[in-house]
Structure 1
Amino acid sequence: MRNSWLIPLAAAAVAEGKAYSPPAYPAPWARGAAEWAEAHERAVEFVSQLTLAEKVNLTTGIGWESGQCVGNTGSIPRLGFRSLCMQDSPLGVRDTDYNTAFPAGVNVAATWDLDLAYLRGRAMAEEHRGKGVDVQLGPVAGPLGRVPEGGRNWEGFAPDPVLTGQLMAGTIQGMQDAGVIACAKHYIGYEQEHFRQGSQGNFTVADAISENIDDKTMHELYLWPFADAVRAGVGSIMCSYNQINNSYACSNSYTLNHLLKGELDFQGFVMTDWSGQHSGVGDALAGTDMDMPGDVAFDSGTAFWGTNLTIAVLNGTVPEWRIDDMAVRIMSAYYKVGRDRTQVPINFASWTLDTYGNEYFYAGEGYKQINEHVDVRGDHAQLVREIGAASTVLLKNVDGALPLTGQEKFVAVFGEDAGSNPDGVNGCSDRGCDNGTLAMGWGSGTANFPYLVTPEQAIQAEVLKNGGTFSAITHSGASNTTIQAVASQASVCLVFANADSGEGYITVDDNVGDRKNLTLWQNGEATIAAVAGACNNTMVVLHTVGPVLVEDWVHHPNITAVLWAGLPGEQSGNSIVDVLYGAVNPGAKTPFTWGKKRSDWGVDVLYTPNNGEGAPQQDFTEGIFIDYRWFDKYNITPTFEFGYGLSYSTFSFSNLKVTPVAASPYKPATGKSKPAPVLGKVLNATAYLFPDYIKRIEAFIYPWLNTTDLKAASGDPHYGWPTSKYVPEGAQDGSPQPVNPAGGAPGGNPALWDTVAEVSVTVKNTGKVAGVEVPQLYVSLGGPNAAPKVLRGFGRVSLGPGEETQWTTTLTRRDVSNWDTVSQNWVVTNYTKTVYVGNSSRNLPLKQNLLLNIKK
């Protein structure tokens, strides 16, 4: 560790029992590795033409509400380069119109379908592209889903690194094939909303929560899907709000420089979450490449970068090679996805749906047409409907109660979750309420609905088409007498219930982003009990952001079927009708575990501070054991296990074959980088004075100086600190640096992806109807600290009645390796490894020891 002056601080922190993130400098510079080569070359050529002010403009946001997108960089008019547009969300284009409201990430996880992940990613990016967006802020692997109550879990995929990682990769490939830069977020450890930005509610704390993660857990769990994202070529990664081991994510040199840019050899750019920046020079040296939205506080007109970044380069605090690398990384991503070929003018405004308004919304200037109301939906509604049905998990089905035949004389629907929001489909800003049916959670990870097909509407249409009668009670306060009078007469009773969550800047029913419990909302349990008490053919459909506690009612003899439909997007009602009436045979599997009681998961949100007014400390003492791994380790019986899901058919597994494949020895990466390239020439301060021909816009962030007196231009009270204290040791060193032994290529050491075994199994449809099965491959890595089993592969197999097929997959060196904290690399231990195959984490009828043929 070259930062020797910090070693005593580290020792003191450890002695006090505080988590500590070691310094890692300098920030690695992009080298155009692998498929980045051409884009990197073009980026270097472009950046070589830029002045210092233009480089700063490229890396600095112009301020909240100072452009038409939720985030905008400065422009480079001299070269015809417009401001880059960053826009939410991971399920569609946020804050606009004539866009599609796609299913949430958790629904994609429930499909276990890489093709659908790709198609959804591509479709979403096509819509962003059509609106003029350069960077879509998604997909999500942070939160991974450590705690079931986590407010934003639904934006991501699943609390398993392999399922999330593969779906992340597929989504990213789809997005970037459409010509839009994907932004994998939130890096890293962002597992709850409470205290994500410090003080909250009645609690005053000095800093944001510190998520304290040990080295093994970081590599084997939370970093894993980001490695998949980097290997898939993701153009940008967003650092998160929280601290990691008591260092802010966007200032954390270890996670950014050492892990992301060093070990994972990430060639794109790191952008801050909105107001996730906490220092200027510090964040630049720690590996952050772009700040968003640019101002210290929204609309403050003050900035850590902008003018201050120009000053930092002029006074030598930030070396010239570092600002060059920041710009090169941004432009490499730009060219890699073909933004120079696919970019269209920005034709919407995030701050209003009015056709005419102010381009500089906060300043109230630049009146023009800001919304062209471009319809970018194409035929994406059909994909939404398909994913909604493909992600519906059949949890219970007694004696073939489903599918419905269409001949039911009287169908009754119950629950507020079946109906419409009385305030309109977009009646709550950023979906910050739970009125009517739930089709997405709340927060910045949302999009406006162009419409929402409710279950009530779709089921009524189906019933009327079939000549039946229909009634719906969607008032959550309806009396039991009213409910039971209808339920007792119905042929089938469909109860819809939900549980919501979202981002922490919105509170709904005292849920501050994170859920405060795991029960149903909208009087759900009481409605289920009332209906089931009067109707002997009661079916429950759940629209929830994650697991809920169902043990108290799910075994009721009158409840004949239970389905989880998640957050299915705009086609919600049509998707559930497709499953209820058998047009689609459910093949989804639950992407999380359903415990019987809240304590079953072993972890929870930190709801109150535990460190006085200091940063709350959340110690990840469970290590790699979250969700099904925790249940397995402690032999806890869930209501429904991870990977579980029924079908209208049945399937069998047989003939497991595990064949070793010879692999070369694992070779740690060696050698050194080239020196950091310096592009262009920095002039004296006079060259960067604010131009006379530029009209100042209120609160807009600029790169220029007001005076050649750098201290006066900065206004930074710390200006003039001794460099030895202000700049960490080694942070300015542009000399050749050692390659990280665990790295060597985007995603990590290339040898991690060597195939070490082939696995095949026969899957047969033993039922009477065509259906889909999801074979799942788990591996026990052996050893005293390993999980009983971990998911390592999956697929989707469509089979007709009586049909069988051979499903084949492979295991890589990475799949059978553990992170060794001593050697700081991946190792294949000598412990016995076992392969399991089945259709859920608790139904694995086939197993075989894995005999590896890896040369030493």
Structure 2
Amino acid sequence: MRVRPALALALAPLALTALSVGPGVAVPAAVAAESPCPWVGSTAPSAERAAKLLAAMTLDDKIQMVHGTAAPLAPYGPVQAGQVAANGRLCIPALTATDGPAGIGNAATGVTQLPAPIALWATWDRDLARRYGAVIGEEARGKGANLALGPGIDIARDPRAGRHFEDLGEDPELVSELAVAETHGIQSQGVLATAKHLAAYTQETSRNTDAGDARVDERTLQELYLAPYEKLVAAGVDSVMCSYNKVNGVHACNDTYTMTQVLKGQMGFRGFTVSDWFGMHASVASANAGLDLQMPDACYYDTRLRTALAEKRVAPQRLDGMVTRIVTPMFERGVFDRPATGTPGARVTTTANAQVGRDVAAAGTVLLKNDGLLPLDPATTRSIAVIGSAAGRNALGSGGGSAHVIADRITTPLQALSAEAARTGASFTSYTGALPSVAADKARGADVAVVVVSKLMTESKDEWDLQLSLTDRLVLEAVTRANPNTVVVLDTGAPVDVSPARGAKALLSAWYPGQDYGTVLADLLYGRRNPSGRLPVTFPASQAQLPAAARDRFPGGDHAEGLAVGYRWYAQQGLTPAFAFGSGLSYTTFSYSDLVVGAEQADGSFPVSLTVRNTGSRAGSTVPQLYADQPAGVAATPRALKDFAKIELAPGGSRRVTLTVTARDLSHWDTSQDRWVRAAGDHALWVGDSSRDLPLRGTAHVAATTATSAATPPAPAGSTAGNETAGESVKDAFVCGAGGFMAGGVGLASYFGLPAQQQAVVAPTDTTSTTATGTQVP
């Protein structure tokens, strides 16, 4: 469907059209004689500096600080994704936001196209997550931005969700641990980080509409969908973005329970909450529920908020709190104390940043199957055939929507593997067309056939099934029949039905691997890099196995599966997936032995140690994973991930590894007390290299039941009980008609989807290496 211009304008967060960039980012104003701005350059704590600034602000100054400055009907801007205006009189620099979670978006060029977040999470590597975040922070600053809209920490509930490639996994422990590392990386560059989306944002269909309602019980909300925010808050994340969906009937951006009672009260969040772009549906209700910043426009928090303050429906202390929460992390990250030297048109990609992308792509590629075919030996691989349009012109380095990043160019599998053939003197042929018979003919005579298949996923459109395209399915079946030595590469943002590839000897999930796709793939196939990726999500054997397979669950919104999401569902139901959460093969082998559960520590944690040995002939990495059960008498899904470590070992090498299960890890959410409780009894502990391969077992004995958190506080006086009243909504619509129109466009687009985006400035082609031997059939 062709998107009309008016609708395209309404798709605020998606960055699907070229961004009209205004003047450069405002820098802190020089200190004027009549306004000394003592909060600039001060060594006082950030809270003190924020208090001094607040005391000097007028009502107009404060109002200006709590909304963006995009023009009516503009999807973002005036710079990058959006901007809070600078205030020269008070030396307040502009707060400039940029998408997104996979690198610099908003149609920017001259940036590093990093692998998709799901590829990062498939690394299970905290250090790589920190480096990934540092690249985002560095390039954001180089583009003149100081607020990065990431990381995304939505739980991957269903692989058909359009933003699944932005999701970080189906388990809150994995999600939160790597998100903390990525956040530290972003913030290390003096850029504010934004965790998103609060809360239970699990589908695109009907988003930002009354029909988009995630109905989730309290325990599931706390243990699964809110849990990742707890560690991020403890780590000092600067801001949290509320989501497009409703949560149990209440629009997320005016939901007192999630934003104020849980995030700010129970978890102690000190930063600011920000709306998703045009995700607001109320003025008074949002302010009183705990939303601090409207983006990218102004009407709800300018004209309407002024009226509400004058009529005493919003307390002045609430406005002061909003401003304080926004400026305090700006002080923390040094935004007030340094000039903003970056510009939107700057070229910010570097060799070092590209190397981070390659490292993530290599470590995040998951070897799902290998019947002795890989790694390829140049001495015996004397001919190679590369099949599939996704190997060339349709190679996908990035998914669609606000997480989309445009590369300068993408090195495709076709280019890299043809160059490899030229280097080794092997003959090379390729076919990127759609005819299965031709694909089979090309593959039949080759020592090895490599088939690359793809599925584009994008924000604003859910998938209806797990199927690859009919062309890809037919080509896969034809090639695997013609040549038993077939490698299949999945260029997808989520698990897909892999049954058409059942005849292949090797299968890899490359996700969306970024700009150096082909280079990394060649290194992996030829063994210069040893695959070490582990699945952050489960590959089902069929769509019928999905926890949310029923239409009332996805995209219907009923989260009746509760805690049984991902691998927990498969264990609970006794189902065998195609590939399990946490699994992944290597070109070497490992053994786990000698599990010891140590004595309970003073903080209630238990150390769990084991010996890991590389029993193969190659250096490689593995990921020991620790899972825990609740004791008898506590209703729970089986075995939940609690800790993990990624370690590298030389051939024959071994290491004693210590994992930790904390008191909080062994707790469950007690709805009768509205708090976390660690139950007395024997908590079974399991260690292995996937959720289904757990050979080591131990026990953590807890002597007495204890609370491990404070209770969720009640809603504060004057807060919003639910959605805004009909009368207030009419007033909002009268003043904020343009914003409502844009919000409606976001919702409408979720039923139709959006056009594919540009993958690279220099578009991928079916051109092979000019030095490769053999022939190519386009």
Bin of the TM-score, shorter chain as denominator length: 0.7 to 0.9
Counterpart of 2:370? Answer: 397
Counterpart-to-counterpart distance in 1, 2:373 and 2:522: 17
**Residue type of the partner of 1:595?**
P
State the TM-score, normalized to the length of structure 2: 0.82
The aligned amino acid for 1:386 is D
Q: Deviations over 1:10-58 (max 9, x none)?
A: xxxxxxxxxxxxxxxxxxxxxxxxxx99222221121221111111111
756, 776, 780: which one aligns with 2:605: 756
Contact 1:756 1:854 in 2 (8 A): no
**What is residue 409 of structure 1 aligned with on the other side?**
382
**Structure 1 residue 533 and structure 2 residue 544: aligned?**
no
Partner-residue secondary structure (3-state), 2:395: coil
Q: Shift in Å at residue 128 of structure 1?
A: 0.2
Instruction: State the SS of the aligned residue for 2:78.
Output: coil
2:146 to 128, 134, 157: 134
Change in 2 beyond 3 A, CA 1:621/1:561: same
Please tell me whether the aligned partners of residues 149 and 604 of structure 1 are also in contact (alpha carbons under 8 angstroms).
no
2:622 to 767, 773, 776: 773
| From 518, 525, 531, the counterpart of 1:573 | 518
Q: For residue 715 of structure 1, what is the aligned residue in structure 2?
A: none
Is the CA contact 1:661–1:853 (under 8 Å) kept in the aligned structure 2?
no
| Partner of residue 61 from structure 2, selected from 29, 54, 57 | 54
- Tell me if the contact between 1:89 and 1:136 (Cα under 8 Å) persists in the aligned partners: yes
* Equivalence map 1:302-451=2 (5 Å): 303-345=299-341, 347-348=343-344, 371=345, 373-405=346-378, 407-420=380-393, 436-451=394-409
Partner of 1:75: 86
Asked if 1:638 is matched to 2:577, the reply is yes
* Aligned equivalents of 1:525, 1:209: Cα separation in 2: 33
For residue 310 of structure 1, give the secondary structure of its aligned residue in structure 2: helix
Letter in 2 for 1:599: A
CA distance change for structure 1 residues 484 and 837 in 2, over 3 Å: closer, same or farther? same
> Gaps (5+ residues) in structure 2?
1-42, 707-778
Which residue identity lines up with residue 175 of structure 2 in the other structure? T
Q: Deviations over 1:479-502 (max 9, x none)?
A: 233212211111100000112211
Rounded to whole Å, the distance in 2 between the matches of 1:195 and 1:73 is: 29
Task: Report the equivalent of 1:793.
Answer: 643
The correspondence of residues 548-559 of structure 1 with structure 2, limited to 5 A, is 548-554=496-502, 556=503, 559=504
Q: Against the structure 1 CA distance between its residues 415 and 773, is the aligned structure 2 distance closer, same or farther, given a 3 Å change threshold? A: same
Q: Secondary structure of the equivalent of 1:494?
A: strand
Which amino acid in structure 2 is aligned with residue 293 of structure 1?
Answer: P
1:531-552 CA-to-partner distances (Å, cap 9, x unmatched) read: 1111121110111111111135
Does residue 1:288 correspond to 2:300, yes or no?
Answer: no
CA distance in 1, matches of 2:168, 2:550: 19
Q: C-alpha displacement at 1:123, in angstroms?
A: 1.0
Find the counterpart in structure 2 of residue 817 from structure 1.
667
Other-structure match for 1:687 = none
User: What SS class does the counterpart of residue 851 from structure 1 fall into?
Assistant: strand
Q: Aligned partners of 1:806 and 1:402: how far apart in 2?
A: 29
Q: What does 1:502-513 align with in structure 2 at a 5 Å threshold?
A: 502-504=458-460, 513=461
Note closer, same or farther for the CA distance 1:410–1:793 as it changes in structure 2 (3 Å cut).
Answer: same
| Structure 1 unmatched ranges of 5 or more | 1-35, 199-206, 296-302, 349-370, 421-435, 505-512, 610-615, 664-753
SS in 1 for 2:300: coil
Change (3 A) 1:596 1:66: closer
Q: Tell me, yes or no, if the aligned pair for 2:93 and 2:336 is still in contact at 8 Å.
A: no
Report how far residue 342 of structure 1 moved.
4.8
From 662, 680, 695, the equivalent of 1:830 is 680
Deviations 1:387-442 (A, max 9, x none): 1111111111113542443652111100111002xxxxxxxxxxxxxxx0122211
In structure 2, which of residues 160, 171, 183 is the aligned counterpart of residue 160 of structure 1?
Answer: 171
Matched residue, 1:490:
446
Q: What amino acid is the match of 2:118?
A: V
Deviations along 1:430-460, whole A, 9 cap, x unmatched? xxxxxx0122211111111121111111111
Q: Superposed, which structure 2 residues align to 1:83-98 within 5 Å? A: 83-94=94-105, 95-98=107-110
Residue 363 of structure 1: aligned partner: none
Paired letter, 1:382: Q
Deviating beyond 4 angstroms after TM superposition, the runs of 4 or more aligned structure 1 residues are 605-609, 853-856
What is the aligned counterpart of 2:410 among 426, 430, 452? 452
**What residue identity is the alignment partner of 2:701?**
L
The answer to whether 1:625 aligns with 2:573 is no
> Identity percentage over the alignment?
36
For the 8 Å contact 1:141–1:168, the answer to whether it is kept is yes
Point out the more displaced range, 821-830 or 480-489. Answer: 480-489
> 1:572: Cα distance to partner?
0.8
Q: Which residue of 2 aligns with 1:121?
A: 133
CA distance in 2, matches of 1:522, 1:335: 54
Judging changes above 3 Å, is the alpha-carbon distance between structure 1 residues 165 and 257 closer, same or farther for their aligned structure 2 residues? Answer: same
Q: What letter matches 1:473 in structure 2?
A: Y
Cα distance, 1:779–1:483 mapped onto 2, change above 3 Å: same
Select 2:595's aligned residue among 625, 648, 656: 656
AA of the residue aligned to 1:766: T
Equivalent of residue 471 in structure 1, options 401, 423, 429: 429
| Aligned partner of residue 103 in structure 1, secondary structure | coil
Kept in 2, the 8 Å contact 1:89–1:444? The answer is yes
Q: How many residues align?
A: 658
- CA distance in 1 between counterparts of 2:349 and 2:447 reads 42
Residues 795 and 127 (structure 1 numbering): CA distance in 2 closer, same or farther, change over 3 Å? same
How far did 1:340 drift? Answer: 2.4
* Structure-2 residue corresponding to 1:601: 546
Q: Does the 8 Å CA contact 1:149/1:605 hold for their aligned counterparts?
A: no
Instruction: Give distance in 2, aligned partners of 1:606 and 1:234.
Output: 36
- For the 8 Å contact 2:199–2:242, the answer to whether it is kept is yes
Please give the TM-score of this superposition, normalised by the length of structure 1.
0.75
Counterpart Cα distance in 1 of 2:479 and 2:635: 47
Find the aligned partners of 1:166 and 1:837 in 2 and give their Cα distance. Answer: 18
Identify the residue that residue 116 of structure 2 maps to in structure 1.
104
* Other-structure match for 1:357: none
Give the deviation of 1:341 after TM superposition. 3.7
CA separation in 2, counterparts of 1:232 and 1:208? 35
Amino acid at match of 1:344: A
Cα distance in 1 for partners of 2:156, 2:549 equals: 11
Match of residue 658, structure 2, among 788, 808, 813? 808
Give the match's secondary structure for 2:408. Answer: coil
Distance 2:481 2:170 in 1: 35
Residue 45 of structure 1 corresponds to which residue in structure 2? 52
**What is the match of residue 510 of structure 1?**
none
Counterpart in the other structure of 2:508: 563
CA contact (8 A) 2:388 2:451 kept: yes
Contact kept, 8 Å, 1:755 with 1:810, in 2: the verdict is: no
CA RMSD of aligned residues (A): 1.9
Paired residue for 1:515? 463
Q: 3-state DSSP class of the match of 1:814? A: coil
Distance in 2 between the 1:551 and 1:37 partners?
Answer: 62
Q: Distance in 2 between matches of 1:208 and 1:235?
A: 31
C-alpha change, 1:158 and 1:855, in structure 2 (3 Å) is: closer
What CA distance in whole angstroms lies between the structure 2 residues aligned with 1:37 and 1:227? 28
Give the aligned residue type for 1:77.
G
C-alpha distance in 2, partners of 1:46/1:317? 25
Q: Secondary structure at the match of 1:283?
A: helix
CA contact (8 A) 1:497 1:522 kept: no
Aligned pair in 2 of structure 1 residues 617, 566: CA closer, same or farther (>3 Å)? Answer: closer
Q: Deviations over 1:305-349 (max 9, x none)?
A: 21222232233221111111101000011111222245514522x
Distance in 2, matches of 1:567 and 1:160, equals 20
**Tell me, what secondary structure is at the counterpart of 1:791?**
strand
State the shift of 1:777 in Å. 0.6
1:447 and 1:39 map into 2 onto residues whose CA distance is 34
Task: Give per-residue Cα distances to partners, 1:626-659, cap 9 Å, x unaligned.
Answer: 0100000010011111111111001000000001
Whole-angstrom CA distance in 2 between matches of 1:343 and 1:223? 36
Which residue identity lines up with residue 333 of structure 1 in the other structure?
P
